[in-house]
Structure 1
Amino acid sequence: MSKAYDICVVGGGMVGAAQAALLSRAGFEVALLEAFQPAEFNPENEVGLRVSAISAGSRAILEQAGAWKCIEKQRHCAYREMHVEEQGSERGLDFLADEFGRDALGYIIENQLVQSCLWKSIEAAGEVDIYCPDKLQGLEQRPDGVTVKLESGQSLKCKVLAASDGALSTVRKMVGIDQQVWEYNEQGLVAVITTEKPNPGIAWQRFLSGGPLALLPLSDGRSSIVWTQSDADARSRVSLPEDEFLTELTEACRSVFGKVTAVSERASFPLRTRISEHYLDGRVVLLGDAAHAVHPLAGQGVNLGFLDAAALTESLLAADEHSLDRALRHYARWRRSDSVLMTRGFHAIHELFALPGQISSKIRQIGMRITNKSWFTKDRLLLHAAGQHSDAPRLAKGETLREIMRNH
């Protein structure tokens, strides 16, 4: 006999785990399906290569998911300054937390730590039925829900299936939702570097002719880098002798924190932007990378996913048995319109900075100088980057689950 749930969450990465935690804390019966048991975070290990710039809105969501206290006790770095420039000019855009009355602009945190703390929150509460390790074998939609078949032979019934199973989402393919994809033929080279002077908590980004280079501050004064470059250049630089790589990187970041003196292992991953044609099929909803994936120059990938999780939670809290389908349609329209705006905006920025020539460069530099002088424009940009703009979910803007539940 199939076990019945309000929501089945497929995919237990950062976004899926946050979704399961939020929904269970909001009083829903939740099942979480994940193919691989997440590794427990070990602070004795070297800093992971995959980190995220967690926004203020995402921090608020993680607090409501019960994960932030766990994260705060471990290594993370609040950054209070952000600088963006273009090759050929050290002047650019500067954002200071103090200037906008913020404690921090964001937080650089290892992906594994975020996922680990979310799972600890879920397991400690004991309110979510976890099916892990297990895989989705098939699904069957009905007017009133979805039946999920697992590789273990178990069958689950749920009123809603929330798919957060990544950019190559099995669920999305099963229900036949297409995606628009922009291929850049680029890779993001990632590593952890040591510089002569410790990074004082500045998120620093430079647009080079071959692609943007970002230095993100870590809690020990080192920096995590994401260096966007062509497929060929990335393959070459990943395997360069260390001394040659250090020389090239020092030049690329113009010794902003002095010479680069050491580098961890290096890795690279392909870059592309994706947006699903729609986020809803019957009672199946998409969120996170299953719905959209953005270029890392934006630093917004997982933040958009956390906004999805908050928005779906709020939409479901506002629904009853008779208005559930309407609530799901509201979620899909709400989040797709926002992520399309952000995704296309980031794609346009990528294309703008990819334009060669001195005239294009001059126009970009003038644009950055004008923006840098406008407090209002920078404040609007920060609100969007923080996930706290007017159309953002209430959870991202600091309301608690209890307050939202009380209003429904």
Structure 2
Amino acid sequence: MHDVILVGGGPVGLFAAILLRQAGLDVLVLEQRTARSVHSRAIGIHPPALASLAQAGVANELIRRGVRIGEGVARSAGNDVTRLSFTDLECDYPFVLAVPQIRTEQVLETRFAAVAPGAFRRGVTVTAVHDIGASMLVTTSTGEVLQARLVIGADGGKSTVRSSAGIPSSLQRYPDTYLMGDFADSSADRSTAVLYLEPGGIVESFPLPDGVRRWVVRTSSLVVSPTPDVLAGLILARTGVRVDVDSISMLSAFDVHRRLAQRLVSGRTVLIGDAAHQVSPIGGQGMNLGWLDATELVPIITASLVDGRDVGRDLVAFNQRRRHAAVTAARQAHLNMALGRPLPRPVLSARNAVLRRCNAVPAVHDTIARTFTMQ
């Protein structure tokens, strides 16, 4: 009998497991993948999430491995429209940290192995989760049956835990599609994030460690068979920037949807991360939302399983707050996507002028900076 079985060993699941183990709980993590993905998918860690990661003892190591983004700039037709600084934010980490997800997972896995040796099992596919009242039964594809006092689902948008618990979820698809890739950084932008606001649609550019830069381009439709040349051509046509096609280290095309579980708590089952809520990756909020879910959830679980407290009301409040946070993030992501859609040059120029004037007001600038860093 484990205290907690955590299904899903990605960055959110590993982080939650570390906090649970640090609180003195017996936790087992089951991960379907036999190895980490080599693609650097999520890359942005926002200030509130860094503060949470510090509780798990991994923030400093991630900062050492990442790039601190202290400023963002919007450009159009070769000229800077406006700048957004994060360095004056009143928080412990006044920057957005750019780290490839594979490195983030490596750091978290190493930390979990230190606090709970042997408690992370790869290549285990969970087929069903059963609430038997006093405990939970977790079955795997090999027929193994495991038991725990509580199950946490951090197993992604197609969550088996969510389905087994009978928790409905709403799904909304957006028309926006994107093509992204990582190239050697030959720009002079260094640690600055750049948004190119162009008539054909937005192009985003973010620094990564080891002299790499990520490019994300809005496309008119999903590119079924993406190639480095296609992405490089779109970047050049819209921004005038040439990237080294031969230096590409990651390439991916994706569309966008939003999913929200009707509830995050059902009996002895709790959902966090993408299992509970998926938002558009434009804005980089998804992984951060999951970490903040875990930060709020673990003290409640500890109060229940360690101290024996009745935490029913706490779980109700947790459900309400985290669903509200997910809805807020989804709205912000919707706005981010709307700002990146194609516009005729005259309309785009007029909108850019409004953005420039608004951002010149200190109070507006600070509000925008806090919004984009999830504060």
The interval holding the TM-score normalised by the smaller chain is 0.7 to 0.9
Q: Could you tell me which residue of structure 2 aligns to residue 396 of structure 1? A: none
Distance 1:99 1:130 in 2: 40
Q: Does 1:7 align with 2:22?
A: no
Distance 1:304 1:328 in 2: 17
Matched position secondary structure for 1:296 = coil
Alpha carbon RMSD of aligned pairs, Å?
A: 2.8
Structure 1 position 185, deviation (Å): 4.0
TM-score, length-normalised on structure 2?
Answer: 0.87
Which amino acid is the alignment partner of residue 31 of structure 2? Answer: E
Structure 1 position 283, deviation (Å): 2.0
Q: Does 1:190 align with 2:180?
A: yes
Distance 1:277 1:381, change over 3 A: farther
Number of residue equivalences: 370
Distance 2:132 2:158 in 1: 24
Q: Deviations over 1:340-397 (max 9, x none)?
A: 112123224424553745675366335422431232333334334434x4xxxxxxxx
Distance 1:287 1:141 in 2: 18
Q: Does the aligned pair in 1 maintain the 2:201–2:343 contact within 8 Å?
A: no
Aligned counterpart for 2:22 among listed residues 22, 25, 37: 25
The correspondence of residues 121-270 of structure 1 with structure 2, limited to 5 A, is 121-126=111-116, 129-232=119-222, 234-235=223-224, 238-239=226-227, 242=229, 245-255=231-241, 259-262=242-245, 263-265=247-249, 266-270=251-255
Aligned counterpart for 1:34 among listed residues 31, 34, 44: 31
Q: Could you tell me which residue of structure 1 aligns to residue 86 of structure 2? A: 97
Matched position secondary structure for 2:124 = coil
Distance 1:285 1:172 in 2: 9
Matched position secondary structure for 2:143 = coil
Matched position secondary structure for 1:298 = coil
Distance 1:369 1:295, change over 3 A: same
Matched position secondary structure for 1:153 = coil
Higher mean C-alpha displacement, 111-120 vs 322-331: 322-331
Distance 1:25 1:284 in 2: 21
Q: Which runs of 5+ in 2 are unaligned?
A: none
Q: Does the aligned pair in 2 maintain the 1:66–1:118 contact within 8 Å?
A: no
Q: Does the aligned pair in 2 maintain the 1:145–1:157 contact within 8 Å?
A: yes
Distance 2:335 2:51 in 1: 29
Distance 1:260 1:355 in 2: 22
Which amino acid is the alignment partner of residue 202 of structure 1? Answer: T
Q: Deviations over 1:59-118 (max 9, x none)?
A: 2222222333443454x2111111235x55844442223343676421111111111111
Q: Does the aligned pair in 2 maintain the 1:78–1:201 contact within 8 Å?
A: yes
The correspondence of residues 72-111 of structure 1 with structure 2, limited to 5 A, is 72-74=63-65, 76-85=66-75, 87=76, 90-100=79-89, 104-111=94-101
Q: Does the aligned pair in 2 maintain the 1:38–1:116 contact within 8 Å?
A: no
Higher mean C-alpha displacement, 9-18 vs 314-323: 314-323
Q: Deviations over 1:159-206 (max 9, x none)?
A: 321111011111112222222222224433221123543431011122
Q: Deviations over 1:196-224 (max 9, x none)?
A: 43431011122444543211102333311
Q: Does the aligned pair in 1 maintain the 2:136–2:268 contact within 8 Å?
A: yes
Matched position secondary structure for 1:20 = helix
Which amino acid is the alignment partner of residue 98 of structure 1? Answer: T
Q: Could you tell me which residue of structure 1 aligns to residue 57 of structure 2? A: 66
Which amino acid is the alignment partner of residue 276 of structure 2? Answer: A
Q: Does the aligned pair in 2 maintain the 1:52–1:111 contact within 8 Å?
A: yes
Query: Quick one: percent identity of the two aligned structures?
Result: 24
Aligned counterpart for 1:289 among listed residues 274, 280, 283: 274
Q: Could you tell me which residue of structure 1 aligns to residue 359 of structure 2? A: 372
Higher mean C-alpha displacement, 110-119 vs 272-281: 272-281
Which amino acid is the alignment partner of residue 315 of structure 2? Answer: L
Q: Does 1:277 align with 2:262?
A: yes
Matched position secondary structure for 1:343 = helix
Matched position secondary structure for 1:231 = coil
Which amino acid is the alignment partner of residue 26 of structure 2? Answer: E
The correspondence of residues 385-400 of structure 1 with structure 2, limited to 5 A, is 385-387=372-374, 389=375
Structure 1 position 34, deviation (Å): 0.9
Distance 1:49 1:342 in 2: 22
Q: Does the aligned pair in 1 maintain the 2:63–2:97 contact within 8 Å?
A: no
Q: Does the aligned pair in 2 maintain the 1:78–1:106 contact within 8 Å?
A: yes
Aligned counterpart for 2:289 among listed residues 290, 304, 311: 304
Distance 1:15 1:367, change over 3 A: farther
Q: Does the aligned pair in 2 maintain the 1:203–1:216 contact within 8 Å?
A: yes
Q: Deviations over 1:119-144 (max 9, x none)?
A: 11111122673333212122211444
Which amino acid is the alignment partner of residue 237 of structure 2? Answer: E
Q: Deviations over 1:256-275 (max 9, x none)?
A: xxx32344153223322222
TM-score, length-normalised on structure 1?
Answer: 0.80
Q: Which runs of 4+ in 1 moved over 6 A?
A: none
Q: Does the aligned pair in 2 maintain the 1:316–1:328 contact within 8 Å?
A: no
Q: Does 1:347 align with 2:334?
A: yes
